[in-house]
Amino acid sequence: MRRTPELDDIDQEILRELAADARASYAELGAAVSLSAPAVKRRVDRLRDQGVIRGFTVRLDPAALGWQTEAFIELFCQGSTSPATMRAAVEGYPEVVAASTVTGDVDLVVQVRTRDMQHLEQVVERFAAEPFVVRTRSTVVLSALLRRPDLPAN
């Protein structure tokens, strides 16, 4: 079983600062958390070694890249379709942002982004044609009211 690293208040603040701007320098991070740049670097290195920080990335605006339509597609699967089978199928869809097995009547919830409604319809039809899918149900996102980066709880 994986052990959860101990994060103190300074670690959590460093993570919040990096989530807001992964390009921030150690000096900028240090100014935000009242530590020297070398002290921040040591903490960031430790957090990377512990697997808390898995990488540094950029957050893109999907709409600016032409992915204007967002939806959640619920997949109802045959019998006892394994999560591995579900994962193998959804990995082949470039439109998939996230996919999760869930409790209840639905077996799999897939978040997708598409160019438009016609593209969304094509994606839904492709999912419905998967051999393990019995039926689908879709919900189109009207407005994304809140999106949070992965941050430690306060």
Question: Secondary structure of 69-122 in the HEC alphabet?
Answer: EEEEEEEEECCCCCHHHHHHHHCCCCCEEEEEECCCCCCEEEEEEECCHHHHHH
- The C-alpha angle 11, 16, 20, rounded to 5 degrees, equals 145
Domain ranges of the chain: 9-50, 62-141
Fold of 62-141: Alpha-Beta Plaits (3.30.70)
Mean pLDDT in runs of 10 for the chain (154 residues)? 81 92 95 96 95 88 92 95 96 96 96 97 98 97 87 58
Q: Which CATH number does 9-50 carry? A: 1.10.10.10
- CB of 64 within 8 A of CB of 128? no
Of 6, 3, 19, 27, nearest to 151 by C-alpha is 19
Residue 154's pLDDT is: 55
- CA 101 to chain centroid, in Å, comes to 14
Indicate if 62-141 has the same CATH topology as 9-50: no
- CB of 15 within 8 A of CB of 152? yes
Residue 58's pLDDT is: 84
- CB of 27 within 8 A of CB of 38? no
